[in-house]
Amino acid sequence: MKRNRPFFLISNDDGYTAKGINELIDTLRPLADLLVVAPERSRSGMGCAITADVPITCELVRKERGLKVYVCSGTPADCIKLAHAHLLKGRRPDLVLAGINHGDNSSVNAHYSGTMGAVYEGALHGYPSMAFSLCDFNPDADFTPLRPYIIDLVFKAITVGLPHFSCLNVNFPKCEKFKGTKVCRMAYTQWDNEFTKAKRPQGGTVYWLTGDRRDIGEPQEDTDSWALAHGYVAITPVTLDVTSYGLLEILNNVL
């Protein structure tokens, strides 16, 4: 890999064959060297899960000038951990990138997302990290409108930098043309009716995870949910420090 170009570490949670991650590779490959370490199959909803009870495998499946693609049997977080420990070989990535995810990772979904799990892991290792998601679950979704935004955001992140222990969660609405970008906070949302109960033909009961996401209270214009609903690209800065500083102050005064 050339040393005079940016270097990005890429993963996802839809698996290495997903259209989204291959669109991200195609978008950035002319501009940077890429090391891709992605799950062998869909790992959606894995969050920050890691594999601790069985060994994982990692196989090089593609090697070209400026590009290496590894397939890992573990989770998205495993992929970044393994890359950090064994595959970077001393070369520090300018950015850890995850996606492009097939589906919405805004608001409460960011807590469950394997896409976000990959960038959380990157940020934990001190790498500037950014996740991209399109609010379209179609396996053949059209990612073309995202390309100029991704290039712009990636190189702005390199130029400006990101604070340690932080990352960016970028969500694109499903539309042919975006109204622009909005830097916004995470909306307060929750999932209702999360499971559908069904009978198994051979007897017994199973539960399918489904559900409906809803805003808690009226949608606010400074949130990611509002931005996406109104055709804007939602950019949410996320911190890995989950300390509640307001409650910390209260507890210090009470205890």
Tell how strand 166-172 and strand 180-183 pair up.
unpaired
Helix (H) or strand (E) holding 222: none
- Confirm or deny that 78 is annotated as ligand binding: no
Report whether 100 contacts 143 (CB < 8 A).
yes
Residue 24: name the closest of 102, 90, 81, 78 by CA.
102
Dihedrals φ, ψ of 107, to 5°?
A: 45, -130
- Residue 120 burial class via C-beta count within 10 angstroms: exposed 0-12, middle 13-18, buried 19 and up: buried
- Locus of tokens 């850890």: 96
Per-position DSSP letters for 155-221, written without gaps between them = HHHHHH---TTEEEEEEE-SSSS--EEEE-BPP-EEEES-EEEEE-TTSSEEEEE--EEEESSSPPT
Angle between helical axes of 19-28 and 147-160 (0-180°, round to 10): 60
Compute the distance between CA of residue 77 and CA of residue 152 in angstroms, rounded to an integer: 26
- Confirm or deny that 44 is annotated as ligand binding: yes
- Confirm or deny that 106 is annotated as ligand binding: no
**Can you say which residues are annotated as belonging to the binding site?**
13-14, 44, 101
**Can you say which residues are annotated as belonging to the binding site for a divalent metal cation?**
13-14, 44, 101
